[in-house]
Amino acid sequence: MEVVMRYAPSTQCVHAGREDFADLGVHAPPVDLSTTYPVHDLDAGTASFDALVGGAAHAGNPIYARLHNPTVARVEQAIARLEQAEACVAFSSGMAGLSALLLAVRQHGGHMLAVRPMYGTADHLLSSGLLGIECEFVTVDQIASRIRPDTALVLVETPANPTLALIDIEAVVAAAGSVPVAVDSTFATPILQQPLALGARYVLHSATKFLGGHGDVIAGVIACAEADAKALRQIRAATGALLHPWAAYLLHRGLPTLALRVERAEANAETLVQRLLQHPAVAAVHYPGLNDPRDAALCKRQMRGRGCLIALELLGGQAGAAAVMRAVQLITPAVSLGSVDTLIQHPAGLTHRVLDAETRERTGITPGMLRLSVGIEAVDDLWADLAQALNAAIATELPLKAAA
């Protein structure tokens, strides 16, 4: 009997998806860029085609890259291992993955529940009804009472984008009952949080962010049971939302340093939070478990750490936020997150601008909020840049606001 070793997450990051390297005689992941594969045996090829179109994870012949690619399958295996899942399905972006999930559950009912806040484009897609599913936005306390016979999914994001609010995954699962729960765990990564172990049925990542980690790949992944992965693969094959093998290679290449990157960036974030709390330009700081003892207890129970994202609200409102984005020099003013370098952006004006002003206000996305994705640079260099930018906001915007 083969003995299966249970390795620490940091070890899994390095070795997952590389189990067959000894047999292949390689040390780095091979890249298969083929778009099509020879079919010399028609009967065997037909059987492979039927299996892959039906959602199988693999077949004797890949047939065509839209149906299967070995390089993509390799990184799927790695991420499934990190999430302690039976399977993982990779997509061309996080939004492609979410779209596939909505189409997959649509066959079980036309209604879903979602908890705000969440990524702005995901919110917009759910609100639009473009994929033929009715989304009702609720609080966690409302989930149980809003379940309908045709409710097919409950979707939450924790920590939430951009406010870093936490949601109790086990409480959501209990309230949802037999309705499957999907958790967007992009901000936490598998290093800090594993929703499947808490009862969720699907865990989503914008793999563009921490999993890739270097700002050079766009990808999305969903980890789940093999039975659920089958439907997702069917939709991916039919819609063409496949991950390109070179992107899969880059994604896999980023995984070995995931734990190190998250740990270093989190340590930086912890230091920056304490310094931001003392700065006169900052009205509020949002960070998992920071401002509420109940959140602190949930963070300790549900996560292995508090992560690398910070939301800060400036006394100068949107004008102050704009001044900070103009003034940073080391920190990059740009959307996205989870890269090795530190990024800062304005949710109300960028990632969440697709939401109406009332929704932004109701979910705590204020005009003066900036979202900081902390990288792995020297923390004193980051603080020096952030402090001078905040001081520039005081000099240029806060006096004007006070005078008004």
Domains defined along the chain, listed by start: 9-257 (3.40.640.10), 258-403 (3.90.1150.10)
Q: What confidence score (pLDDT) does residue 395 get?
A: 84
Per the annotation, the verdict on 64 as an active-site residue is no
Mean pLDDT, consecutive 10-residue stretches, the chain (404 aa), reads 69 94 92 97 98 96 97 98 97 98 96 97 95 96 98 98 97 98 98 98 98 97 98 97 98 98 98 97 96 93 98 94 97 98 96 92 94 98 98 73 42
Q: How many helices (H) and strands (E) does the chain have?
A: 17, 12
C-beta separation of 161 from 94 below 8 A: no
184, 228, 295, 385: the active-site residue: 184
Q: What confidence score (pLDDT) does residue 6 get?
A: 78
Measured CA to CA, the distance from residue 46 to residue 24 in angstroms comes to 27
Measured CA to CA, the distance from residue 310 to residue 265 in angstroms comes to 11
Residue of 75, 48, 14 lying closest to 245 (CA atoms): 75
74, 209, 233, 264: the active-site residue: 209
Q: What confidence score (pLDDT) does residue 230 get?
A: 98
Burial 160-193 (b: 16+ CB within 10 A, else e): bbbbbbbbbbbbbbebbeebbbbbbbbbbbbbbb
Please tell me the pTM assigned to this model. Answer: 0.95
Q: What tokens does 182 get?
A: 């999907």
Measured CA to CA, the distance from residue 287 to residue 187 in angstroms comes to 12
Per the annotation, the verdict on 209 as an active-site residue is yes
Alpha helices in 226-333 (DSSP H): 226-239, 245-254, 258-276, 293-302, 317-327
37, 66, 230, 275: the active-site residue: 66
Measured CA to CA, the distance from residue 52 to residue 35 in angstroms comes to 15
Per the annotation, the verdict on 119 as an active-site residue is yes
Residue-by-residue DSSP string for 134-158:
EEEEE-GGGHHHH--TTEEEEEEES
Q: What confidence score (pLDDT) does residue 397 get?
A: 59
How, if at all, do strands 282-286 and 309-314 pair? antiparallel
119, 202, 249, 287: the active-site residue: 119
Q: What confidence score (pLDDT) does residue 243 get?
A: 98
Q: What tokens does 211 get?
A: 């999993």
C-beta separation of 74 from 17 below 8 A: yes
